[in-house]
Amino acid sequence: MPSTGLLGDRGVRDRHRPWILSRRDGGAQARGLSARARRPNVSNAIVVRDLRKSYGGVHALSGVSFEVATGEVFGLLGPNGAGKTTTVEILEGYRRRDSGDISVLGHDPGDSPRALREQTGVVLQQSENTPLLTVREVHRQFAGYFAQPRDIDEVIELVGLTHKRDARVRTLSGGQKRRLDLGTALVGDPELVFLDEPTTGFDPAARRSAWDMIRSLRSLGKTIFLTTHYLDEAQQLADRVAVLRAGEIVALGTPAELIGVTRRTEIRHRLDGELVVLETDEPTRVLHELTTRALAEGRELEQLEVRRPSLEDVYLELVEEPGER
Closest among 121, 125, 129, 133 to 158, alpha carbons compared: 121
Q: What is the pLDDT at residue 15? A: 37
Q: What is the pLDDT at residue 20? A: 52
In this predicted model, which residue has the larger pLDDT, 7 or 246?
Answer: 246
Tell whether 210 is covered by a domain: no
Tell whether 275 is covered by a domain: yes
The letter for the amino acid at 103 is: S
**What is the domain count for the chain?**
1
Least confident of 86-90, 151-155, 185-189, 260-264: 260-264
Query: Which residue range(s) make up the domain with 271?
Result: 265-308
Q: What is the pLDDT at residue 224? A: 96
Least confident of 62-71, 157-166, 176-185, 311-320: 311-320
Closest among 66, 48, 186, 190 to 110, alpha carbons compared: 48
Q: What is the pLDDT at residue 263? A: 64
Sequence-ordered list of residues with C-beta below 8 angstroms from that of 20, at least 6 positions apart, any chain: 30, 31, 33, 250, 251, 252, 253, 258, 261, 318
Q: What is the pLDDT at residue 252? A: 92
In this predicted model, which residue has the larger pLDDT, 147 or 15?
Answer: 147
Helix-, strand-, coil-residue percentages of the chain, each rounded to 5: 35, 30, 35
Chain mean pLDDT for the chain: 82
Tell whether 185 is covered by a domain: no
DSSP 281: S
DSSP SS3 for 218: helix
Tell whether 272 is covered by a domain: yes
Distance CA 230, CA 237 (A): 11
Q: What is the pTM of this model?
A: 0.74
CB atoms within 10 A of CB 178: 22
Closest among 39, 36, 68 to 249, alpha carbons compared: 68
Q: What are 44-82's pLDDT values in tens digits?
A: 999 999 999 999 989 999 999 999 999 999 999 988 888
Q: What's the rounded mean pLDDT across residues 87-108?
A: 94
Q: What are 169-195's pLDDT values in tens digits?
A: 999 988 888 889 889 999 999 999 999
Tell whether 291 is covered by a domain: yes
Q: What's the rounded mean pLDDT across residues 35-51?
A: 68
Tell whether 18 is covered by a domain: no
CB atoms within 10 A of CB 221: 9
Q: What's the rounded mean pLDDT across residues 139-148?
A: 92
